[in-house]
Structure 1
Amino acid sequence: MAQIVANAAAHRGAALPQPRQLAELGTVLCMYRPQRGSELAGWTQAVRAECRTGMDSDGPYESLRFFDCHGRCCWRLFLLPDSDFLAWDILVAQLPARAEEEGAQGGVTERLWRRLAGRLGGGDWRLCALRLHALPQSGWTAALAASPAPVSAVGVAIARRIARQEGAVGEVRLDDCCCAGAAVATGLSPTGGSEVPLVRL
């Protein structure tokens, strides 16, 4: 079931992507704080966004970071192999870009410390794969809706890597091949159930 959230900052001319631009991204990995609400709660608080790029031992990664009026990161979207790369490139070309600070990801000790500090401060992050949808609204505001999206096996590997880097937890639905997708569409799955397999991150 899709969730629908309108962003009040979007009609104030804030430096934010439009819901239509986010919907064009296809499947993305969403990082959010569940204590603040649903997966789209960060979108409602955001007043600006920027693109972040970085490199770790597994290769490059890209995300969109959204910030609230206090300058705190309140929502993140990550590029996945399942995303629309052209739409992503068009969007990030319109946003301020920033490279991750060297050593920002840190080693194992740094990641564990960030995870512990986040939990003690009530700042746990969760991850899920979503497809975003733009819904027309009256006037000049727009609403953003989201629905869960399955990801490829490669997408699951990337999601696990991001979860490890960010000290976040979550789960994604695996859509590992066209055969599995066809089985789910007919009400069957390779394991005999009717659901797409859920993978914990």
Structure 2
Amino acid sequence: MSFPNQFPNEYSHRRVAETSAKPCDICFKPSSSVLITPDNKDFFYVCPSHLKDTGFCTPKIDLAAVEARKKRAMEREVERVKREYEERKRRKEEEKKKKGKEKEKDEKKDEKDEKKEDEKKDKAGEGKDETKSPAAEEKEEEEEEEPRIFELKSTFYQQRVNRKRQVEIAKRNRERLQDPNFFPSVPKGQP
């Protein structure tokens, strides 16, 4: 009995809640990572460390997604540079206004005011960190960098296909056993 390949060798990596973690099919440790086919016909739990193993699967790189990710990163960088430029420009204008006012005041008062203003600027600069920290940005990029689509090596893929076949055969056998016409009937006539 021959079975056609029922699902493609293309698995998407998904994460489930930690409370829904089940044993990894390879090492039987609890895992919240799942590989699933696009048509949802086959899925199995796997540890994230196995996804990095080239003997188990290979990532399929989506060039369009890579280009979109690069474009988003470039846009974020341009936006960050623009904000920094606007902030510097605003600070310079404030300094020019203050310097004009300071010329009118005595030099002794100017020195005291400058020291106080420098301290205020330092304090204000520390509190105005609106952008994300570099570590947080790197973490987001690392999460995005993980490949989402994988292709299993032939031996592992064949194991998945065989397991699916065995499940279908067992299901078919159960249905046959429940069918009353499956077993022969007792002869009714004289021998």
The TM-score range, normalised by the shorter chain, is under 0.3
TM value normalised by structure 2: 0.19
Q: Which has the higher helix share?
A: 2
Structure number with higher relative contact order (C-alpha < 8 Å, ≥ 6 residues apart): 2
Q: Which has the higher strand share?
A: 1
